[in-house]
Amino acid sequence: MRIGVPRGLLFFYYYPLWEAFFRTLGVELVVSAPTSRPLFNRGVVLASDETCLPVKVFFGHIESLREKQVDYVFLPRMVSMEKRTYLCPKLLGFPEVVTSVITDLPPVLTANFNLRKNPKELDKALHELGKQLGYNARRIQQAVEAAREAQARFEDLLLGGQEFDLAVKGRSAERNTAEVALRIGVLGHAYMLYDRFTSLDIKGKLSKFGTEIITAETVDSGEIDHYMEQLPKKMFWSHSKRILGAAYSFIDDPRVHGLVHLSCFGCGPDSMIADMVERACRRRGKPFMVLTLDEHTGEAGLVTRLEAYVDMLRRRVEVENNISAHG
Ligand code: SF4
């Protein structure tokens, strides 16, 4: 049996969970190719104009699976993955929205993941998937355990600063621990930051300017919760909570010289987060830049802005170093 997985949106958060689950059951996963210009353009044509960029790209990935001769397309309905927080509502109705737009898809394989009240709901959702494919409870339980283990390893690797491309395969590489002159906290949804084409490879570009990049995935959940507890109102969007908590942690960290927020045009949570981070940065005198990407964003203008930002950070650090050297 072959199951198609679109390489977009929650792929960047949960692929190791799905991969280990289906592999242990003996199912072959067929992942759509990395985002490319034709795939991107197809997604933009298929999705509604008003939706955000990552959802448009996701449509392109789903459509590309039509040619892969898969038995099912996997589109889990992930409502909530931790206590009393939710994923974006745009993701919840995906199985219905997608099948109404792309009518000749293979059958959709789905299950509800709603861990809002109880983390054990994860096992229940995976058992439901396994049962739909005709496996017995014992075999499914083995797959559930493998899936949990793979996901925990992936998250640990990201937390330790491993690159996404390695961590998603459960692999790690020796990290360069040499002191860097500039460290930048790059904020954004994993499906933007780690998709090179959609993000215009912002991470790679900043690295080429000689900076070290850290992302929200490197911040411990306890630290995120610590910052979130200080807000007057609970942040109930999971991804926004992580991005905002990481931003506050970077602002407090003197080893982080500046913050860049890669925001998606058409994303409500992102516009709110960008405003909150900007205010906090202004209060603390930390340089902050928002880059809002949509399907029309050009690479040349972006490089100029990044270059100017990095130059400004470099000059600030030089001035600060001079002041501390000469008292
Ligand atoms: S959180 Fe924002 S970017 Fe992500 S799916 Fe929702 S609207 Fe789109």
Ligand 1 mean position, distance from CA 49 (Å):
14
The pLDDT, as a whole number, for residue 177 is 67
Q: Average pLDDT, stretch 242-250?
A: 98
> Closest Cα partner for 260 from 196, 205, 301?
205
- Distance, in Å, from the CA atom of 118 to the CA atom of 122, rounded to the nearest integer, reads 8
- Distance, in Å, from the CA atom of 182 to the CA atom of 217, rounded to the nearest integer, reads 19
Mutate to test the pocket of ligand 1, among 11, 195, 267, 273 (most ligand atoms within 8 A of CB): 267
Q: In which element (H, E) is residue 108 found? A: strand 108-109
Task: Give residue ranges with CB within 6 A of ligand 1.
Answer: 52, 54-55, 88, 90-91, 189, 239, 264, 267, 269-270
The pLDDT, as a whole number, for residue 313 is 96
- Distance, in Å, from the CA atom of 160 to the CA atom of 142, rounded to the nearest integer, reads 27
pLDDT digits (tens, 9 = 90+) for 134-155: 999 999 999 999 999 999 999 9
The pLDDT, as a whole number, for residue 194 is 97
pLDDT digits (tens, 9 = 90+) for 301-327: 899 999 999 999 999 998 888 888 876
The structure's pTM equals 0.95
Ligand 1 atom closest to 88 (CA): 6
Ligand 1 atom closest to 266 (CA): 7
pLDDT confidence band for 298 (50 / 70 / 90): confident
Ligand 1 mean position, distance from CA 43 (Å):
15
Domains and CATH numbers, the chain: 2-159 (3.40.50), 176-325 (3.40.50)
CB 251 within 8 A of CB 281: yes
- 129: helix, strand or coil: helix
Ligand 1 mean position, distance from CA 102 (Å):
21
Q: Give the burial class of 28: count Cβ atoms within 10 A of its Cβ; 0-12 exposed, 13-18 middle, 19 or more buried.
A: exposed
